[in-house]
Amino acid sequence: MPDHIDPPIIEKVENLRKALHRHNYRYYVLDDPEVSDAEYDRMMQTLIALEKAWPELASPDSPSQRVGAPPLDKFETVAHSIPMLSLDNGFVDSDLIDFDSRVKKILDTDNKIIYTAEPKMDGVAVEIVYANGRLSKASTRGDGVNGELITSNVKTIRSVPLLLQAGEGAKLPSLLEVRGEVFIGHKGFKRLNDERLRNNQALFANPRNAAAGSLRQLDSSVTAKRPLEIFLYGVGNVAPNVLESHWETLCFLKRLGLRVNPLVRPKIPIEAVLNYYRELDEKRNLLPYDIDGVVVKVDSLSIRKILGATSRNPRWAIAFKFKAIQETTRIKKITVQVGRTGAMTPVAQLQSVNIAGVMVRRATLHNEDEIERKDIRIGDTVLVQRAGDVIPEVVKVIKSQRTGAESKFSMPRCCPVCGSAIVREKAEAISRCINTSCPAQVKERIKHFASKGAFDIEGLGDKLVEQLVAKGLLFSYADIFSLDQNILQSLERMGPKSAENLKNSIENSKAITFRRLLYSLGIRHVGEHIAGILADRFENLERLYRATSETLKGIDGIGPVVAESVVNFFNHDENKNIIDRLIDCGLQITHDSPDREKMMVGKVFVLTGTLDSMTRSAARKLIETAGGKISASVSRQTDYLVVGKSPGSKVGRARDLNVEIIDEATFKALLSE
């Protein structure tokens, strides 16, 4: 560090860098932050300001360096010191059994081989080189021998440490070539495509394309804005190298602060690999990112050496792929759906098709421009894709199947529900019904309000909302809280018990976090992410009411479009009126800590018996807020059985299946860590 600068300044910069590296690691690698996003942003802003004032303090591995470097003309090529091979594929159980037999044959043994199995991430392979603990180079896989140098781009990925961490018995290697997969998760993908939709840009077909496109940007400041993530799964050269097994390698990487997939299943025989494959296949829809199979690797590194590789694939590993999530089918017609903001979304009505176990009848076509871009016509044979719980999409038209009988689609001139005029703003790709009282919009706003990420009112599903709106019992979401139990029980498919349950869940839903409340209001462009930013910044609705467009635009993560939309929403008398009525219903609004949200992603809970301190629906809410899922019966997919008073036969089943059994106190501790 330069010695003409005041020591306290140098110390402050060093401390901030250390703290930001640590918070970065806690947030992006461990998924367990210690400070709020706002606090992190403040520290980052201070560091950036100090580095700007004293440019001599600049350092390539400062946490501020994740914003990107000056654009390149082209990527340089680099040779991988050890080629990055690809994997042989298997598709059915017998492929895996054959693989195991081949391994045994080469080794000339009948002993059981020990494997480590892990999710096959559907992203882009990269190699990152750390010299004496500092990130020095990063490259794409390329043709396996030579890749493209994408160091500045990889440095923008928050879960990639710029500096490795020593300590806890982990000595820093002088050289570490680490390999892994860069990907974009479902949430990030949705946010990215929503933003592109708003800005009239072509949409990414899937998270993998989005990740690949983002990594290959010549301007790394573009990459910096993309929600890229990483999991590391192997190494090239390591010096000094004392590693003996794959699992040991992964633990070593973890100790150095690198992100390793927590779903890796270490040291198992081939039969257990088959079970793991089935388990992951069933769980796959619950994961927050795409995986396309399981990678099975011989665990012992000395045995790997004996097995060696062909010119393309190692003989010690295989990718056991899941069934495709894309199928071809035909578009019977194109209808238009009116959303809660009046947005008209063209929807392809498909000849129903089974895609990896789920019947798909509809696929979103997003908007007119997308239809035009992909040249989609009624009658076309198309490739349809379903991933996670994302709405199925048309990937492309199979043009060779055209007969000439296909017809072009055009947007209707009036709203198909209320007949009002449709407007398409010049800069927008979306056409809208301008009547805010359009029954379709009212219905959708109420459905959104009652949905999982919002007020989460159990029992108030789409069908019931439709019935209530059609009968004139609901005109806005504020009316939900004054629904009469007697009237409810007289409705179709309702009885006294379900009416009582519904009233109870409506009552329970009044305890809500500010972030969920903001999301529930259905303000255009305010999804869960933006709602979180607003909830962190404003104490209550009053303050948000009074915020000007200027104030809003000044918040990190809020652009002019969102700011405008928030201000417009609160300027609208009808909205103000509804919200005042909502507040009068006696909501108990709390502020949540952002760290709580994602802890239990993918975890499946089953409840048995009665809990002392909370109702079932409150327990459900806790689990779901933490990203978990609740299921009715115990199976191999269950992660925890929560046992209350007078439990049932589920306990025995959980024991049989080796499912973790926890009591109410442990359950609460688990969710409030």
- 273 is a contact residue toward ligand IVH (CB under 6 A): no
Nearer to ligand IVH, 84 or 464 (CB): 84
Q: Which of 120, 100, 119, 95 is nearest to 110 (CA)?
A: 100
Q: Does 355 bind ligand IVH (CB under 6 A)?
A: no
Residues 491, 494, 499, 505: is their CA dihedral positive or negative? negative
Beta strands in 451-557 (DSSP E): 511-513
- Which one of residues 30, 48, 85, 175 is an interface residue with ligand IVH (CB under 6 A)? 85
By CB under 6 A, residue 298 contacts ligand IVH: no
Q: Considering only 84-92, 236-244, 619-627, 641-649, which stretch makes contact with ligand IVH by CB under 6 A?
A: 84-92
- Select from 320, 170, 141, 135 the least CA-distant residue to 234: 141
The contacts found for 65-68 with CB under 8 angstroms, 24 or more apart, are 65/155, 65/162, 66/155, 66/156, 66/157, 66/158, 66/162, 66/224, 67/156, 67/221, 67/224, 68/152, 68/153, 68/156, 68/219, 68/220, 68/221, 68/222, 68/223, 68/224
- Nearest to 176, CA basis, from 147, 136, 121: 136
Closest to ligand IVH by CB, 232 vs 350, is 232
DSSP characters for 298-364?
Answer: ESBHHHHHHH-B-SSSBTTEEEEEPPPSEEEEEEEEEEEEE-TTSBEEEEEEEEEEEETTEEEEEEE
Q: Which is nearer to ligand IVH, 15 or 275 (CB)?
A: 275
Cβ contacts of 78 within 8 Å, gap of 6 or more: 137, 139, 146, 147, 148, 149
Q: Are the beta carbons of 86 and 43 closer than 8 angstroms? A: no
Position 287 contacts ligand IVH (CB under 6 A): no
The half-sphere exposure of 501 on its side-chain side, counting CA atoms within 13 A, is: 12
Helix (H, G, I), strand (E, B) or coil at 127: strand
Question: Measured from the CB atom, is 305 or 493 closer to ligand IVH?
Answer: 305
Based on the shown chain and the rule CB under 6 A, indicate whether residue 125 belongs to the binding site for ligand IVH.
yes
Tell whether residue 121 is a contact of ligand IVH (CB under 6 A).
yes
Bridge partner residues of 364 (DSSP): 347, 393
Is residue 303 at the binding interface for ligand IVH, with CB under 6 A as the rule?
Answer: no
Q: Which token pair is 454?
A: 């919002």
**CB of residue 202 vs ligand IVH: minimum separation in angstroms?**
25
Q: Is 314 in the site for ligand IVH (CB under 6 A)?
A: yes
Asked if 235 is part of the footprint of ligand IVH (rule: CB under 6 A), the reply reads: no
SS (H, E, C) 231-252: EEEEEEEEECCCCCEHHHHHHH
Residue 571: how many other CB atoms lie within 10 Å: 10
CA distance 208 to 163: 27
Which residue of this chain has its Cβ atom nearest to ligand IVH in the complex? 125
HEC-encoded secondary structure of 251-278? HHHHHCCCCCCCCCEEEECHHHHHHHHH
Dihedral angle over CA of 51, 54, 60, 64, nearest 10: 0
Smallest distance from the beta carbon of 88 to ligand IVH, in angstroms?
8
Choose the stretch contacting ligand IVH; rule: CB under 6 A; options: 209-217, 314-322, 428-436, 616-624: 314-322
Q: Which of 74, 112, 120, 463 is catalytic?
A: 120
CB-count exposure of residue 85 (10 Å: 0-12, 13-18, 19+): middle
- Rounded to a whole number of angstroms, the minimum distance from the CB of residue 87 to ligand IVH is 4
208 interacts with ligand IVH by CB under 6 A: no
118 touching ligand IVH, by CB under 6 A = yes
Residue 297 contacts residue 116 (beta carbons within 8 Å) = yes
Nearer to ligand IVH, 290 or 406 (CB): 290
**Token pair for 42:** 């403040």
Triad 26, 32, 33: Cα angle to 5°: 65
Residue 250 contacts ligand IVH per CB under 6 A: no
The size of the interface with ligand IVH (CB under 6 A), counted in residues, is 15
Q: Which amino acid is at 296?
A: V
Residue 233 binds ligand IVH, judged by CB under 6 A: yes
The stretch near ligand IVH (CB under 6 A) out of 85-93, 186-194, 368-376, 613-621 is 85-93
Given the rule CB under 6 A, which of 95-103, 114-122, 415-423, 622-630 is the region that contacts ligand IVH?
114-122
- Select 99 or 605, whichever has its Cβ closest to ligand IVH: 99
Q: Is 266 in the site for ligand IVH (CB under 6 A)?
A: no
Stretch that binds ligand IVH, among 120-128, 249-257, 267-275, 516-524 (CB under 6 A): 120-128
Q: Site mask, ligand IVH, residues 534-563, x = CB under 6 A?
A: ------------------------------
Q: Which residues is 129 bridged to in the sheet?
A: 137, 177
668 is catalytic: no
Q: What minimum distance in Å lies between the beta carbon of 177 and ligand IVH?
A: 13
Residue 422 binding ligand IVH, by CB under 6 A: no
* Helices 560-571, 573-584: inter-axial angle, 10-degree rounding: 70
Q: Which stretch binds ligand IVH (CB under 6 A): 312-320, 385-393, 596-604, 653-661?
A: 312-320
Instruction: Tell me how far, at minimum, the Cβ of 290 lies from ligand IVH, in Å.
Output: 10
For ligand IVH, give the closer residue by CB, 295 or 654.
Answer: 295
Q: Please identify which residue in 68, 234, 388, 594 interacts with ligand IVH, judged by CB under 6 A.
A: 234
141: contact with ligand IVH by CB under 6 A: yes
- Please state the separation of Cα 358 from the chain's center in Å: 20
Should residue 230 be labelled a site residue for ligand IVH when binding is judged by CB under 6 A? no
**Per CB under 6 A, 228 contacts ligand IVH:** no
Q: Which of 35, 87, 343, 442 binds ligand IVH (CB under 6 A)?
A: 87
Give whole-number Cα distances, 143 to 211, 369, 464, in Å.
Answer: 18, 35, 55
Shortest Å distance, C-beta 381 to ligand IVH: 29
Using CB under 6 A, which of the segments 119-127, 152-160, 329-337, 521-529 binds ligand IVH?
Answer: 119-127
Q: Point out which residues bind ligand IVH (CB under 6 A).
A: 85-87, 118, 120-121, 125, 141, 181, 233-234, 295, 314, 317, 319
Q: Which residues are catalytic?
A: 120
